[in-house]
Amino acid sequence: MMRNKHHGTDTFWFTLGHYRYVDQTFYDAVGGAQFFTKLVDGFYEGVEKDPVLRPMYPEGDLADARRHLAMFFEQYWGGPKTYQEVRGHPRLRMRHAEFVIDSDARDRWVTHMKTSLDGMEIEPQLRDELWAYLVSAAEFLINTPA
């Protein structure tokens, strides 16, 4: 498998037999919307019980948060641009500025995401790429010293 990265979208070429190649985004390579929905659902199972992260979300169910995160991941990884059509530019730091995000919150977020990702079937190279992004994004959103 070879990889070409362009503006947040990975394109993969898979060898089929000796001569054919299939051009695929990261989004397609992992299974599209179904993969990201499952990843996000598993993540929010942990968040629902987390005493630090759960208060950062509105009371009631987390359906909107789940939908927003899944749409964001889908767009980031080369899928539909629904997130931007519905919510506008991601502006991650701005959208999270009202919350106290310190190293503890980051670690909890990463732990719940890792638990969810560990339950997914995904090729190791793709897992490593996704994991590196998730850890980097969590670090990027810290806005409060420990």
Sorting pLDDT into bands at 50, 70 and 90, what band is 20?
very low
Query: At residue 120, does pLDDT exceed 70?
Result: yes
Interatomic CA distance for residues 10 and 26, integer angstroms: 5
Interatomic CA distance for residues 63 and 25, integer angstroms: 27
Interatomic CA distance for residues 110 and 131, integer angstroms: 9
Query: At residue 16, does pLDDT exceed 70?
Result: no
144: enclosing H helix or E strand: none
For the chain, the domains span 27-140
Interatomic CA distance for residues 50 and 106, integer angstroms: 12
Q: Specify the pLDDT at position 1.
A: 46
- Read off the pLDDT of residues 97-118 as tens digits, 9 standing for 90 and up: 888 999 999 999 999 999 999 9
CA distances from 109 to 24, 53, 106, 136 (A): 29, 8, 5, 12
* More confident site: 99 or 5: 99
Interatomic CA distance for residues 66 and 59, integer angstroms: 14
pTM of the model: 0.82
Question: Where is average pLDDT lowest: 5-14, 26-35, 135-144?
Answer: 5-14
CA distances from 28 to 31, 60, 89, 90 (A): 5, 32, 22, 21
Average pLDDT of the chain is 87
**Per the CATH hierarchy, to which homologous superfamily does domain 27-140 belong?**
Globins (1.10.490.10)
Interatomic CA distance for residues 146 and 132, integer angstroms: 22
